[in-house]
Amino acid sequence: MKIYKVAMCLQMAIPRLKSFDLKEYAATRPILFVEAHNPDEACHKVMSSLISLILSQDDSLETKLLCKDIINDVRVITAKVPE
Length of the chain: 83
- pTM value is 0.92
Burial class (CB in 10 A: 0-12, 13-18, 19+), 49: middle
Percent of the chain clearing pLDDT 90 (strictly above): 98
CA distance 17 to 15: 6
CA-wise closest residue to 47 among 67, 19, 17: 67
pLDDT digits 0-9 by tens, 27-54:
999 999 999 999 999 999 999 999 999 9
Q: Give the end-to-end CA distance of the chain in Å, rounded to a whole number.
A: 15
Average pLDDT rounded to a whole number, residues 12-20: 95
Is-contact 52 25, C-beta < 8 A?
no
Mean pLDDT of the chain: 96
